[in-house]
A = this chain, B = another copy of it.
Amino acid sequence: MKHTRITLAHGNGGRLMRELIRDIFLDSFGDNDLSDAAELQLDSSLIKITTDGYTVDPLFFPGGDIGKLSICGTINDLVVSGAIPKYFTVNFFIEEGFEISQLQQIVHSMKNVAENNNISIVAGDTKVLPRGSVNGIYIATTGIGTTAASHLLLEQVKAGDRIYTTGTLGDHGAAVLLARNAFGLSGPIESCCASVLSIGSQLMQQRLIKFMRDPTRGGAATVCHELIEMTKLGIKLYGNRLPIRTDVQSFCDILGLDPLYLASEGRIMFVAAKEWNPAAISNDIIEIGIVEDDHNNLLLETNIGGRRVIPELESDPLPRIC
């Protein structure tokens, strides 16, 4: 690459664009032709497909970057729907003037996560937009997976079922906000941004698990509200069991935020029948709540035994964290 920054000509379909594709994208993603569509021979004709757009400010944060996020997020969406991720496509919207070395770093992160999770990136596209019409880079990722767990059935969720999480909540949201130096604060919180394929593959084998979701945009509270909306049941979370890291909680206390609304990017929240034993999988799984009959409400049981309604997120003061 002769250039150090992306120019509009890198997106016009001509020579510079072909160089960009060859030197940056094919070098990492390893396709060998430039045709308009990739041919795939799937193991099965029953697949799952998902798509997500990724924008994060800043693009690089402790524990990850937009590239890692854009692959992990789509992996995780497939896993929580009971599929093993296989083939991905990626779209880049890049601002004119973007540093090519940063693009290389982002693409490298994508390549690493894809390789570690046995995913092939089979097609891609890049659009370069005039300076000021993209904030750096946006990525849209579509993922295809083969269906592994068709027993995940929302209809089986009932009162008495337990709510679990595979790890701490809100780390990603707090890490990204801190990385912005927002409100004059800074600190060492690292994003939980990661693939949940490994733990998720184990959870898929458990026939007493009925529903999985990754608590990204809108956090754990939003997952609960979606579940409530779909089942017309209620949920009670136990305030004294919520796995919120001390530094994440302190950060939230200072800013008056509720960590239940902050995104995680490497966690699964799930619902299992009450007789399911989490120790069969991992000691890191934490029971955080219970499905209740007939409430249509998300309640938080506070440490002193009171109950507080956690409303649905309406207006978010924290845009662009995932």
Contacts and interface: CB of A to CB of B under 8 A. Distances in A.
Q: Is the interface of A mostly helix, strand, loop or mixed?
A: mixed
Contacts of A130: 135, 319-320
Q: Which of A13, A18, A213 has the most CB of B within 10 A?
A: A13
Contact of A15 (B7, B55, B126, B314): B314
Q: Which of A33, A44, A52, A126 has the most CB of B within 10 A?
A: A52
A11 interface: yes
Count class of interface residues, chain A = 35 or more
A55 B312 contact: no
A16 B143 CA distance: 26
A15 B313 contact: yes
Interface in A12-28: 12-16, 18
Contacts of A313: 12-15
B138 A93 contact: yes
A275 interface: no
Contacts of A52: 91, 125
Contacts of A126: 53
Contact of A39 (B35, B46, B122, B225): B46
14 contacts: A8-B319, A15-B313, A33-B230, A36-B50, A36-B80, A37-B49, A37-B77, A37-B145, A38-B48, A51-B125, A55-B93, A55-B127, A91-B91, A125-B140
Nearest to A147: B39
